[in-house]
Structures are given as C-alpha cells and as structure tokens.
Chains A and B, each alone.
Chain A
Amino acid sequence: MMDILQQLLAGFAIALQPINLFWALVGCLLGTAIGVLPGIGPALTIALLLPVTAQVAPESAFIMFAGILYGALYGGSTTSILLNMPGESGSVMTAIEGNRMARNGRGAAALATSAIGSFVAGTLGTLALTFLAPTIAELAFIFGPEDYFALMILSFTSVAVVMGTSRVRGFTALFFGLALGTIGIDTQTGQSRMTFGTLELLDGISFTVVLVSLFAVGETLYVASRQARTAGVVYPLKGGAWMTREDWKRSWKPWLRGALIGFPIGSLPAGGTEIPTFLSYTVERRLSEKPEEFGNGAIEGVAGPEAANNAAAAGILVPLLTLGLPSTATAAVLLAAFQNYGLQPGPLLFATNPGLLWGLIASLFVGNVILLILNLPLVGMWVRLLLIPRPYIYGGIVIFALVGVWGLSTSWMDLLLMCGIGLIGYVARVYDFPIAPALIGLILGPQAEIQLRRALAVSQGDWSVLVGTPIAATLLAIAALVIFLPFFVAKFRGAMHESKA
C-alpha cells in the first residue's frame, strides 16, 4: 500500500511536468472535440496520432492518449443533452433525461451534473485502477460466454421495461434493433443473412448510421413538422448556470452507484462502456423517489449513466495494463502504442517501466481535473446554443449528420439507409416509441448471439449451461424479476385492496 502511494507520487512528479501537462491539455481538448462527433471515437483518433507521436517521449504520448480517452466521454454528453444527438454510443442514455432537462430550461444543471459526475466517477475509477487492478483483472477469467449472455439479457429486459410510455413500445423498439443487428455475414458460420444479395449489406448496418438517423434525422423531421406551431418558441433558460441544492442531493448517490456499476463491467473483456449506462439508468429509475419525473427530465437519469461510462473507461485499462489483454478498440490501439515503444503491457511492465506506467495513471487523475476545469465554465456558454433559432440549429445538425455518415464509408447505401431509418425515427417520435432500446438491440444483439452460440458450442447443445454458473443464474433471475415483478406487485396490491374491502 505504502509502496503504491510512493510510486503514485513519483508518477505525479512525471505527469505534472509542464510539458506533460501541455500534452494532457491537448489530449483533453482533442478528446472533447471528437466526443461531439458521431462516428469518430478515441480509438480512431489515437490510431491517427500514433505516427505523429513517435517523435514524442512515451510518457507524454500516453498522457495525451489518456486525455483523449476521458475527454471523448465528457464531449459526448454535451450534444446528447443540448441537441438530443449522442456523439458516442456510451452517451445514448444521457440524451433521454438530459435533453428533457434542457427543454425544461435546466440544461445547465444537466451539463453540470454530467461533468461533475464524470469527474467523480473517473477519479473513483482511476483510484480503483491504482489499488485494485490485479484483483479486478481476475474477473476477465471468471466471466464465461453464458455470463456475458445473461448480462446482455439483463440489459435488454431492463431497458425495454423501463423506457418509454409502455412495454409494448419498449419491446417493439428493442426488437427493431435486434432485427437490424442480424443483417450481414454471420461471424460464426460465414453465411450472409438478410442481405438480399446486396454487397453493401454484407458488412451489416453501421451503428453510427442508425444512431444519427434515429436521433438527428428523426428529431429534425419532427421539429420541422411542428414548425408552424413552435417556430418562435425558444427553450427557456432558467435556474442559472449551476446546480441547485436539491440537484446536488439527487446527484451524488447516482454518481457513486454509476461508478460502482461502470468500473467492473468496463474491466471485462466483452464489457464496454455501453452496458453500464443502460444498467445505471434502470437502477436510478427504480430507486428514484420521484419515478414520475423519469421521461420528463430526471437529473438522476443523467448523473448515473454519465458516471457509469467514465468509470467504465477507467475499467478498460485494467485488463490492458495488468494482463496485456485489449478488450475494446481503444485498448487495442493503446496496446499497439505500447508495442511501438517496445513495451509489452502486463505484470512485467510494472517492474520494468514503473515511471511510464505510474505517470500514465497519475495523468488520468490530472486529466480528470483538467476536463472538469475545461467543462464547468463552458456550461454557461453551451446552454446559450439553445437560444439560436431552431431552423438554424437543426439545419446545422442535418448537414453534420450527412457529412458524418458519408465520411465514414463514402457509401450511397448508408445515405439511403439514413433517410429510411430517419423516417422510422420520425414515426417513432410521433407515436412515442423510445429510441434507445433500438440502439441497444443493435449494439448488443449480435454480441448476445455470439455469446449464446459459444456457450452452447462449449456445452454441446445443453441449454442448462445458461444457468450453469452462479453469475449467469443470478443475472437471469434479476432479468426475470425486472419483467415480472411489477405484475406481481400490482396483483399483490390488488389482493390487499380487496381483502381490506
């Protein structure tokens, strides 16, 4: 313990050198910028910068990369909240309550709780990385395919049940996403499915296209169709640029719970930053004292998921640094960066290169502080964007979306898909279907299928394997409870009522 503290202090000595502070600032700014843009993530950015950074000392390069990794998550929430257009898949859940808050004139509070929550959870995650990494890394070996499958089923059910105005709508959206996810070559057998002989569909439908279509295009069409009635209305700004006492009271627990959910799941090889945000949202909605506010701008629904995705980002570094095991695209690029400098992450790195490693970990703390300092004063400026007349804002969004989708693959098919799915997004908006379950189906559906088939292959077709481990059985039981408990509670209450009468 003392040893870790000492090394961490040495790490701070490296991270706080002016030149490294400068690189941390560059990384944070870049990360925030790319977080805003759908389709450009930290993995792509770091990969692009690798040749450039070959001239920089390894410590400085990794300190900048850490800033990009964290900064992207801070940036992704801003457009989610203000424009209902998530920049990253980990920010999808933030859009739901965050944008409602912005419409109610509480955009500043939403941005503040997301920035502070990101800071709190990012710092807690980094602390856990510092002190618990080797222990947490063991989770990678405990989780098997059946456990991942159960975790994904839990995400599906919890999200479909809590989101939207009715279960039918939630599940309809979820199955729409799952159906989209089956398009393309099946990775287990190499057979093409639902491609109708089109080469363009062999790769499947890109997540970014669906994200942009459902959110940006659908939303724009909706606003345009209501233009006659709302043209002159500007979202009100009230409550100042800061969180109220009550906001703080309602935010701190979700921050902590979000961090608690995010870090361990982020450290799983197939965990990622999305699942924790789904689960955190569900938990907050269930635990909230004011569940009726959910769907109308509940601050807990922003605080929790934003904390969860930042803690998960710290978690991603656990298997990478302790085992040399890359679990996401970003981690794999970081692994390549280590190898560029002739370093192999893993237990040996702590012994052979403590300066670099502890400098990197210290820079995560520093980066969080920089991002908080960058983001909080900007809150007041960002919310003023809402004062821009809507035709200009939405015109800008559509151009942004078109350029983003075209730039991703330069494919006409993607543009056509964007129009088609955008129309579906509009219909969903008009008839009050939630959008997030569709995206969750698209992200997790293919993964759930692969894990299910792996589990069944290993068990030679014995379905009992799906409840064969305590983790899987527990997660599936919770998933079942999420679906059925409300029925029983309602029935029980009804019975109580009758017996009283």
Chain B
Amino acid sequence: MLKRSFLTGVIALAFSAGLAAAEPAKVLIPANPGGGWDGAGRETMAAFNKSGVFTDGVSFTNKGGAAGTIGLAEFVRTAEGDDNALLVTGVIMVGGAISNKTPVSLDNTTPLARMTNEYNAIAVPADSAIKTPQDFLAALKADPGALSVGGGSAGGVDHVLLALLAKQAGAPVDKINFVSFSGGEILASLGGGKIKAAISGASEFRDFAKSGRIRIIAVTGPNRVEGLDVPTLKETGIPIEIGNWRGFVGAPGMSEAGRKTWLDRFEKLHASDAWKETLKAHGWEDAYLAGDEFKAFIKAEESNWTAALKDVGILK
C-alpha cells in the first residue's frame, strides 16, 4: 500500500510539476457533461489556450442540476477568495436561483464577463407530424399535457419559452408538460421519440440534426442561425425572442488584483482570432460585456426574470 501510494504520488507530482510553475484555472461547470454550459466552459478555455492569452492549464469540475444552482452553491461554498476559480454561468442560473428561491445567488460571486449569446431551437423527432411552429402551437392548444417537451432545468429559458408559447397559443400555462433533462440524454430521448419535442440551444441540436433523427422547426433569435435552414419564430408570426447568454463569474471575495487579471484576459481573448473561430464553429453570437456593466446586467436580468416567471405562472 505504502509503496503503491508513493508510486502514485510520484506520478501525480511529476504531472502537477509541469503545471505548478503556472497557476491553472479551476473552472466549475454547473451542468452535467455534454450540455450547453459544458461546451461553453470547455470551448472558452480551449480558446484561451489557442489564442495564447492564458495557457497555464485548466481543471474542470462538472456539478449539474437544478438550473445550475447546485453548482452555484458548490462554487460559493468552496471557492471563496480563490483568484483562479471560475464559474460558468448564464441566464438559466439567474432564472433557476429565483424560481428555486436558493439561499445563494450570483450576487455572492464576482461577475467577470458575458461572452456569448445563443438562441434556442425547438426540435421534434424526424417522423413527427409537427412540421412548423404553427403546428406546435396547435398541438399545445389541443392538449398541452399530451405534448411532452424536454428541456433543461425547471424554471430555465427552455421552460419559460414553452410557457410563452403556451400563452401565445391560448393554452393554459399550468397544464404544459415540461420534462427536465441535464446533459446529452435529451438528444437520445428526442431521437427515440420518447418525448414529443424538445427545446435546447441551437448548437446542441444542429450537429445531431445532421444524423437525420431529429428536425429543428424554429430558432428563437432575431436572425436565422448560420448553416441552419430554419425560420425564426418572428418570421412565422410568433412575436417571441428569447436568448441564452453565458459568461463567467469569479469567486466570492476575489481580490481586486485577481479580478483585474481576469478582466484583462477576457478582453484579450475577445479580441483574438481564436475566439472568433470558436464563435463561428459553435454558432454563438458575440455578447461580450465585462466587469461592472456585466454586474449591472445581471441585476437587470434578475428583476426581468422575476417578472417573467410570475407572468407565466412558474413563480407563485
């Protein structure tokens, strides 16, 4: 045993020695592997490396569930004062913290930068009778309970979008059948026809749609998504636009120097070619907003979402 632990210790040391010269970032991803936040976290850090802005290594931890608030709680609990700890965040977490009435919120963290905005997409199994957004609304109106729609956590963008669509269709919002998923399992469930439709990020559906198992019927941004021959909701006469921004926050009690270092890094990353390539490859819209402006934006989002969640009946 002792011999063995020495052996592993030596191996671990040999590996950490390579990284220990610099200080690797510790990124907490508040979702299970394979989902949108996971991609955002890993791709952004990869772009950091590729652009040469930050090349000191990264360790990722996935802690999924409850609209990212489980990860948020973990982050607030374990990362206090750590200048190299980052949390991937986004609008889903803002909504989740409100509807879950969690004792911790983004106010406990140090906002750094909003990086991307990604519009949602609505998809159905390839052999579904639902071909257009209008078909979808009709199905919702006919029997909202029978239309099981998969999405992220309860109270997140996907859930709110479904509620807004129900309102638009004139269907009772409290009868909608929203099924929560975390990670890549939603694709298998939709492809296998276990659920009737699903709402998720356009990029998550895009690659999978190429396999011909699912069909995307609409995207929710102001413009069409490049490489996708799919109309926006607005084009089809449904006045709904909803997006899924993602960004990074630092630890509670991050030092001013640490905050400056990271704000500087994000600014350089944003200007780099590697970042532009990453945005293009994933169909993300550039939504760079940093520091105090980002902090104010989060505040505004919190009040917007409180209103929206009450409006659609999720928040009583």
Contact = CB atoms under 8 A, between A and B. Distances in A.
Given A339-B43, A396-B5, A141 B192 contact: yes
A427 interface: no
Interface in A336-379: 336, 339-340, 342, 344, 346-348
B52 to A, nearest CB: 11
B161 interface: no
Given A33-B7, A33-B12, A199-B103, A189 B154 contact: yes
B85 to A, nearest CB: 11
A348 B33 contact: no
B271 interface: no
Interface in B34-71: 34, 38-39, 42-43, 45-46, 49-50, 55, 57-67, 69-70
Contacts of A50: 46, 58
Which DSSP category, helix, strand, loop or mixed, fits chain A's interface?
helix
Contacts of B102: 185, 190, 192, 202
Given A202-B73, A346-B207, A141 B34 contact: no
A203 B38 CA distance: 18
Contacts of B153: 187, 190
A316 to B, nearest CB: 12
A270 B185 contact: yes
A324 B213 CA distance: 13
A305 interface: no
A359 to B, nearest CB: 22
Given A185-B66, A199-B103, A400 B5 contact: yes
Given A142-B192, A324-B207, A327-B184, A185 B1 contact: no
A33 B8 contact: yes
A348 B207 CA distance: 11
A52 B1 contact: no
A29 B11 contact: yes
Interface stretch (A40-48, A91-99, A237-245, A275-283): A40-48
For the side of the interface on A, what is the size category? 35 or more
A421 B76 CA distance: 25
Contacts of B67: 190
A85 to B, nearest CB: 9
A141 B188 contact: yes
Contacts of B49: 51, 54
A168 B213 CA distance: 47
Interface in B6-32: 7-8, 11-12, 15, 18-19, 32
Interface string B185-220: 101110111110000000000011011010000000
A144 B194 contact: yes
A370 to B, nearest CB: 16
Contacts, number: 197
Contacts of A212: none
B29 to A, nearest CB: 10
B55 A51 contact: yes
B42 A336 contact: yes
B70 A47 contact: no
Given A336-B42, A409-B78, A458 B33 contact: no
Contact of B57 (A52, A78, A204): A52
Contacts of A327: 184-185
A190 B50 CA distance: 37
Given A141-B191, A199-B77, A328-B33, A460 B177 contact: yes
A91 to B, nearest CB: 15
Interface in A135-157: 140-145
Nearest to A334: B33
Contacts of A400: 5
Contacts of B194: 144-145, 458
Interface string A153-187: 00000000000000000000000000000001111
Contacts of A332: 32-34, 38, 62, 183-184
Nearest to A332: B33
Given A269-B184, A385-B3, A184 B210 contact: no
Most chain A Cβ neighbours within 10 Å, of B103, B194, B208 = B194
Given A141-B188, A185-B70, A392-B2, A200 B65 contact: no
Contacts of B66: 185-187, 190
A185 B77 CA distance: 15
Contacts of A142: 192
B155 A190 contact: yes
Contacts of A189: 100, 154
A108 B262 CA distance: 53
B254 interface: no
B44 to A, nearest CB: 12
Given A141-B188, A141-B213, A325-B184, A190 B100 contact: yes
Q: Identify the 5 closest CB pairs spanning chains A and B, nearest first.
A: A332-B33, A141-B192, A190-B100, A187-B65, A326-B34
17 contacts: A33-B7, A43-B62, A50-B46, A51-B58, A143-B188, A184-B70, A190-B99, A199-B103, A203-B70, A270-B185, A323-B208, A325-B208, A329-B62, A332-B34, A332-B183, A339-B42, A385-B4
Interface of A: 29-30, 33-34, 36-37, 43-44, 47-48, 50-52, 54, 78-79, 82-83, 140-145, 184-192, 199-200, 202-204, 269-270, 319, 323-329, 331-333, 335-336, 339-340, 342, 344, 346-348, 382, 385, 388, 392-393, 396-397, 400, 409-411, 454, 457-458, 460
Given A33-B11, A202-B70, A385-B4, 7 more contacts: A141-B191, A141-B192, A203-B74, A323-B211, A327-B185, A331-B33, A393-B1
